[in-house]
Structure 1
């Protein structure tokens, strides 16, 4: 069953772009968090989305929030992607798509492309926004708006 608005996000684990184990409870339930699922590193839409989050990352940090990007790419792919585009936030490798399924992120384009969905969690780990749009750059202002409203 998909996580929905008002649900508390349970703990999950994944490798980050450094290849080390990331435990969600290190940030979820501690501070506001933006978790965005995206299809693939180094594709036009995903690069635009990541770079938009990068360009506004300080705005999120100033509001006490963390940003986490999740795709099924490997940690090796993530480290190259993060380095190439100077991405300052956490990228998680969901190579078996367990986290994607756990959240209930559905594929797009007749099931051919992994979905692009952004979740905004408050400091208690409660989902305050579920934004599902194929338009990559619309996710950033929407997430920032909700984070600001939570202040």
Structure 2
């Protein structure tokens, strides 16, 4: 069963596209996070999803949030992906799928592809939104709506 609204974000540390260790604890208590799990760098759906977050990145920043993409690709693959599409946010390498498992992100599409799931985590580390859809185009919109709703509260 996936994480639910109200759950606490699992603590995790992974390397980013620059080889630096990122820890979720570095943001809890400081700013909201938008964490999107995606299947694979530089594939059509994942590129569409990442570029939609890129195109709205300033809106996320204005709302005080950090955007974080996670897949099982290597740091080097993430670096190439970020450079090719000018992605300004953090991409984390979860090669052993440990973080994906801690968030309980299941496989999609006949258990062939890693799941595509987006979480909005508030400043206190509480899950405020969970969106699971193989459709890459809706994740950014849902996350932005959820963040705006948090701002209103």
Same fold (TM over 0.5): yes
1:88 paired residue number: 88
Task: Give the distance between the partners of 2:88 and 2:29, measured in 1 at CA.
Answer: 21
Residue 10 of structure 1 and its aligned partner are, at CA, apart by 2.9
Task: Give the distance between the partners of 1:3 and 1:108, measured in 2 at CA.
Answer: 16
Tell me, which stretches of 5 or more residues in structure 1 are unaligned? none
Partner secondary structure for residue 150 of structure 1: helix
**RMSD (Å) for aligned C-alpha atoms:** 0.9
Task: Give the distance between the partners of 1:27 and 1:89, measured in 2 at CA.
Answer: 14
1:144 paired residue number: 144
TM score, norm. by length of structure 1: 0.97
Higher mean C-alpha displacement, 6-15 vs 83-92: 6-15
2:123 paired residue number: 123
Task: Give the distance between the partners of 2:71 and 2:28, measured in 1 at CA.
Answer: 18
Task: Give the distance between the partners of 1:104 and 1:29, measured in 2 at CA.
Answer: 23
Tell me, which stretches of 5 or more residues in structure 2 are unaligned? none
| Count, aligned residues | 151
1:63 paired residue number: 63
Higher mean C-alpha displacement, 40-49 vs 20-29: 20-29
Matched, 1:24 2:24: yes
Residue 73 of structure 1 and its aligned partner are, at CA, apart by 0.1
Partner secondary structure for residue 110 of structure 2: coil
Residue 94 of structure 1 and its aligned partner are, at CA, apart by 0.2
Matched, 1:72 2:67: no
Alpha-carbon deviations, 1:92-139, whole Å to 9, x = none?
000000000000000011110000000001110100100000110100
TM score, norm. by length of structure 2: 0.96
Task: Give the distance between the partners of 2:82 and 2:42, measured in 1 at CA.
Answer: 10
The runs of 4+ residues in structure 1 deviating greater than 2 Å are none
Task: Give the distance between the partners of 1:29 and 1:126, measured in 2 at CA.
Answer: 10
